[in-house]
């Protein structure tokens, strides 16, 4: 069958074959497959379904039709309603994994790479794009709720020097945390800074160690962009924390 490359990936080549998606197995494929089966067994539609492994050793997933904002966040995915829906979807899979063997001794299973680039959206009757599913679960692992909440706020609000309206962004930060529900809000901004520091140094270290995918990511300017975002969040930390108080 015809293989159609899907855009957006720096790390993994992903193709569409018929109504399925084929991608190379990640280092933690066994855990990820257990997680996807868990979602399927509980009827949660917020992730692709695992169909198996093909003759080339690639995992086979259902294709989730819709819009993926893989280039950058846009106004159509930044409405209060869309952002709140993202947060509620995160809460749903956190609650589905809390207290399960998948979470081990941690609170939940975290996605660890939540962003518009890893989200499928569909139009509603008001021309809003609303999220329906998260893609790319390769980094999923047991963890603390706050880790995904902070990563979610960073990525979906595009927190960094590109922000041109601090008041609106602060409002949207509160919208997302309100929609997610109980979480230690006093740790959200510090955890965003932790993620940004971790991501910048992780890209640089792995690129220096010879990881080709991370080298491409570094050379694209990703590490510099994350460093700039960290500086912006650190500068505006007080205002962002006040919005969540």
pLDDT, tens only, 141-178: 999 999 999 999 999 999 998 898 999 999 999 999 99
Q: How confident is the model at residue 70 (pLDDT cuts 50, 70, 90)?
A: confident
Q: What is the dihedral of CA 128, 159, 107, 101, to 10 degrees?
A: 70
pLDDT digits (tens, 9 = 90+) for 173-211: 999 999 999 999 999 999 999 999 999 999 999 999 999
Report the pLDDT value the prediction gives residue 157, as an integer from 0 to 100.
95
What pLDDT, on a 0 to 100 scale, did the predictor assign at position 11? 62
Helix (H, G, I), strand (E, B) or coil at 244: helix
pLDDT for residue 213 is more than 90: no
Cα–Cα distances in Å, from 120 out to 28, 70, 169? 23, 10, 22
Per-range mean pLDDT, top range of 7-11, 48-52, 76-80, 127-131: 48-52
Give the C-alpha distances (Å, rounded to integers) separating 176 from 49, 57, 83, 99, 168: 26, 38, 6, 24, 12
Of the two residues 9 and 124, the one the predictor is more confident about is: 124
What Cα–Cα distance (Å) separates residue 108 from each residue in 30, 81, 145, 165, 176?
17, 25, 6, 33, 19
pLDDT, mean over the chain: 93
pLDDT at 108: 98
Across the range 22-29, mean pLDDT stands at: 91
Whether the per-residue pLDDT at 30 is higher than 90: the answer is yes
Domain 67-244: give its CATH code. Answer: 1.10.510.10
* CA 182/CA 145 separation, integer angstroms: 10
For the residues 24-45, what does the mean pLDDT come to? 96
Percent above pLDDT 70 for the chain:
96
What pLDDT is stored for residue 26 in this prediction?
Answer: 86
Q: What is the dihedral angle through the alpha carbons of 136, 141, 147, 153, rounded to the nearest 10 degrees? A: 10
User: Half-sphere exposure of 41 toward its Cβ, with a 13 Å CA cutoff?
Assistant: 8
Q: Is the pTM of this model over 0.75?
A: yes
Structure tokens that stand for 222 in this block? 């990703």
**Dihedral pair phi/psi, residue 129, rounded to 5°:** -95, 120
Considering only residues 13 and 47, tell me which one the structure prediction assigns the higher pLDDT: 47
Q: What's the whole-number mean pLDDT along residues 82-101?
A: 98
Structural contact between residues 155 and 222, judged by C-beta atoms closer than 8 angstroms: no
Cβ neighbours for 129, distance < 8 A, ≥ 6 positions apart:
67, 69, 74, 76, 77, 82, 121, 122, 123
């Amino acid at each position: 069958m015809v293989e159609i490359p899907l855009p957006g990936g720096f790390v993994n080549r992903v193709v569409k074959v018929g109504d399925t998606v084929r991608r190379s197995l990640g280092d933690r494929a066994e855990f990820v497959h257990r997680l996807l089966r868990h979602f399927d067994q509980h009827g949660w539609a917020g992730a692709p379904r695992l169909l198996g492994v093909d003759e080339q050793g690639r995992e086979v997933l259902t294709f989730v039709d819709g819009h993926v904002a893989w280039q950058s966040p846009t106004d159509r995915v930044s409405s209060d309603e869309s952002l709140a829906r993202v947060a509620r979807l995160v809460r749903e899979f956190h609650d589905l994994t809390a207290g399960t063997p998948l979470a081990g001794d941690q609170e939940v299973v975290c996605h660890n790479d939540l962003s518009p680039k890893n989200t499928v959206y569909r139009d509603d009757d008001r021309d809003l794009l609303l999220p329906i599913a998260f893609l790319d679960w390769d980094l999923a692992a047991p963890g603390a709720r706050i880790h995904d909440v902070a990563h979610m706020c960073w990525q979906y609000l595009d927190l960094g020097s590109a922000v041109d309206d601090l008041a609106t962004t602060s409002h949207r930060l509160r919208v997302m945390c309100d929609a997610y529900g109980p979480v230690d809000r006093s740790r959200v901004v510090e955890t965003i800074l932790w993620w940004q520091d971790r991501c910048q140094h992780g890209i640089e270290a792995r690129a220096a160690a010879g990881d080709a995918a991370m080298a491409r990511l570094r050379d694209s300017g990703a590490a510099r962009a994350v460093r700039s975002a960290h500086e912006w969040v650190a500068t505006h930390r007080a205002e962002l924390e006040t919005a969540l108080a």
